[in-house]
Chains A and B, each alone.
Chain A
C-alpha cells in the first residue's frame, strides 16, 4: 500500500484565493511526522510545514496551514491568499518513527495560480 497518497495531479487557483491540497497517509507507527514541500521548476525542495503525530494543534506557518485529521489519516495543506509565486509542485511526505529516518513522498500536486 502507498504510504502517502496525493490524489490531485493538478490544481488551479485564482490569485488571492485559498486552495487545499489533499494528502492521506498510511502507517501503523504511532510516532510519525508529516511534511509538505514545495518544488519550483528549479528543482529545489523547499520545506513548508511540519506536523507531528502527537501535536494537538494544526501546524501553521504564515500563509500555510496543515489540516491534520488523525482519525482520517489526512494532512491537507491549505494555502491562503495564493500568489503567482506559489505555482509549483507540492509534495506531501511522511517520516515514520523519530528523526533521522527516511521520508516517504507522495506523487505530488502541480499547483498553478491564475492571475
Chain B
C-alpha cells in the first residue's frame, strides 16, 4: 500500500535553532499534504495544508513565519520550525490523501521534536 515517510523521526535541538522536517509520499503523488501537531495525550490538530506549487494554507492561530511550509514537488513537503522554543516541543505528523477518488489518507510515522 501507499507509504508516507517522515524524516527525522526524532530531533532534539537548542532553543533558537531551526528544524526542518520532511514528509515524502513514497509510491504516489500528493498535490496536497497536511501537517498536524499532537501534544501528549491530546488529539491531532491541523496546522496547515501544504499545496504543491503554491502557498500553504494555515489554520487560525498558527504562525506562518514560524512554521514555514514548502511543497516543492509532488512527493515532498517540508515543515521548518524557525527559532524553535520549548513550547514548540511536540509530535508532528504529516498526511497525504491517497490517489484521487480514494477516500483514505496516509499518515507519516511522525516526528518527535524536543526543544531544550
Contacts and interface: CB of A to CB of B under 8 A. Distances in A.
Given A33-B103, A103-B34, A43 B110 contact: yes
Contact of B49 (A35, A102, A106): A102
Main secondary structure of the interface of B (DSSP, over half): strand
Interface in B27-75: 32, 34, 38, 42-46, 49
B84 interface: no
Interface in A72-113: 91, 95, 99-100, 102-108
A91 B107 CA distance: 13
Nearest to B42: A107
Contacts of B8: none
Nearest to A91: B43
B103 A95 contact: yes
A52 B101 CA distance: 12
Nearest to A44: B109
Contacts of A18: none
B95 interface: yes
Looking at B45, B93, B100, B103, the one whose CB has the most chain A CB atoms below 10 A away is B103
B6 to A, nearest CB: 10
